[in-house]
């Protein structure tokens, strides 16, 4: 299934430019205290946004996978799974 997956960044970006400003919740990010794993590819256009979240969320861990784009769970499945498993093992009492 993932071999035939296609992604239109233009359509996705257009939708976000129109809709996302209506849902700007950045002021509430500091109040999110649960352990959070932020997974992103280093080549993902949204990497800078994930870096901002990691900086402003008190218990966030940022994992940027080198040379990976917008779909790390497809492009680097083994690394993705390894990092998620490690995060879950490090936080056994956190809700998933």
For each of the chain's 96 residues, which pLDDT tens digit applies? 556 666 677 877 887 788 777 878 889 999 999 999 999 999 999 999 999 999 999 999 999 999 999 999 999 999 999 999 999 999 887 665
Question: What is the predicted pLDDT for the residue at 40?
Answer: 96
Determine the Cα angle at 61 with ends 56 and 67, to 5°. 110
Q: Structure pTM?
A: 0.74
Domain spans, the chain: 28-96
Integer Cα distance of 22 and 18 in angstroms: 8
Question: What is the predicted pLDDT for the residue at 42?
Answer: 96
Integer Cα distance of 59 and 53 in angstroms: 10
């Amino acid at each position: 299934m993932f071999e035939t997956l296609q992604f239109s960044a233009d359509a996705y970006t257009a939708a976000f430019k129109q809709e996302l400003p209506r849902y700007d919740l950045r002021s509430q990010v500091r109040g999110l205290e649960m352990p959070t794993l932020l997974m992103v590819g280093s080549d993902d256009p949204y990497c800078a946004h994930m870096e901002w979240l990691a900086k402003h969320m008190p218990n966030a861990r940022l994992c940027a996978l080198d040379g990976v784009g917008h779909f790390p769970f497809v492009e680097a499945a083994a690394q993705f799974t390894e990092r998620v498993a490690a995060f879950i093992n490090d936080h056994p009492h956190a809700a998933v």
